[in-house]
Structure 1
Amino acid sequence: MKGLIINKMHSDYFTNMLEVFNLLPEEELNCMWLVSSYECNIYPSEQIPFDKDYVWMKGTKLKEILNQKEIMFIWGNFTSYSSDTELNDVLKYPIPFADGNKNLWGKDVQLSNPLSNTELIS
């Protein structure tokens, strides 16, 4: 497993996930994404609401939402799963989180969910 820390973004803030999603390959955008433990400057729609623990959607839809509004994710966990993964299977494990998750911040990075492909932390 490899970890990557991004120290500089093109925008004025580090939590512009649109910049990250614009760099993802097509196969990642076709995955299902669980966005959890998130806090935003704005909550643009029912697809990313204020009062939910997580949202589940296809990466292409998430990228579309990110393109519509300039959302700053003050905090958030973005975890991808293969497109045939069911939410019920994902929820058999704890919902991914970053703040206080020692598995994400050590030398040997571990994904929060064994079914996941990619994990991005904002």
Structure 2
Amino acid sequence: MKGVILRKGERAYSYFSGVLSAIFPAVVERNWLITGYENYPEALEPYGGNLGREAFFWVPGERLEEIVRQQDYPWYWGVLSGFKKEVPLRQVISYGLPYADGYTGFWKNPISIQHPMADIEIVAWDSALTLLISRDEAIAQAFRNAYPRSEDLETYNLGEPESEEWRKIWEEAELHYGDGGR
């Protein structure tokens, strides 16, 4: 399992066209569960569903890549969980839905993917950063190669959250959301 955090060197941190290009062809080899989202491409709407009061999208990777390439703007929040094509949606939603806003597990080692059946997780975190967690270290390395200023998430978790820079991220979120997304 390998995680990467992208929080430096980009015009914004949750434009997913570049992220998906960085890990291609892994994107098209999977179906994607998209949850906990704000500010998403409208073209995803035909792929929507609900689990109780929680909304989600279930999108084939080929279509997700096409939609994001055509409508590339920052997601504020969201979790994109990638599943092998043979994993059925009914089995996926039996575990509950991953979320970004308020989930503290990203910042704890050892890192993990929220959904036990997913093998990739991409997270838009308050449009302030992007996380990628993968069971396949080659996918995480492809992301790091595309974004040289990205950092290893486990290393980041060892001390960076206590830094002045981290406090500034939370303060900005508190100004915007009132509670810092907590």
Q: TM-score, normalised by structure 1?
A: 0.86
What is the identity, as a one-letter code, of the residue corresponding to 2:12? Answer: Y
Q: CA RMSD in A?
A: 2.0
Q: Partners of 2:9 and 2:97 in 1: how far apart?
A: 27
- The number of residue pairs the alignment matches comes to 119
Deviation per CA, 1:34-93: give whole Å up to 9, x if none. 0110001x64232477x9711001111101001111232011101000011111000111
Is the alpha carbon distance of 1:47 and 1:71 closer, same or farther for their aligned partners in structure 2, counting shifts above 3 Å? farther
Q: Equivalent residues in 2 for 1:18-97 (5 A)? A: 18-40=17-39, 43-45=41-43, 46-47=45-46, 53-97=55-99
Q: Partners of 2:62 and 2:14 in 1: how far apart?
A: 19
Percent identity, aligned pairs only, is 24
Is the alpha carbon distance of 1:58 and 1:24 closer, same or farther for their aligned partners in structure 2, counting shifts above 3 Å? same
CA radius of gyration, larger in: 2
What is the identity, as a one-letter code, of the residue corresponding to 2:14? Answer: T
Q: Partners of 2:71 and 2:60 in 1: how far apart?
A: 17
Secondary structure, counterpart of 2:8 in structure 1: coil
Q: Could you list the runs of 4 or more consecutive aligned residues of structure 1 that deviate by over 6 angstroms after TM superposition?
A: none
- Matched with 1:2 is 2
Secondary structure, counterpart of 1:67 in structure 2: helix
Kindly indicate which of the two structures has a greater share of residues assigned to helix.
Answer: 2
Is the alpha carbon distance of 1:82 and 1:9 closer, same or farther for their aligned partners in structure 2, counting shifts above 3 Å? farther
Q: Partners of 1:117 and 1:108 in 2: how far apart?
A: 16
Asked if 1 retains the 8 angstrom alpha-carbon contact of 2:47 and 2:59, the reply is no
Q: Partners of 2:41 and 2:85 in 1: how far apart?
A: 25
Structure 1 unaligned residues grouped into runs of 5+: none
Structure 2 unaligned residues grouped into runs of 5+: 125-182
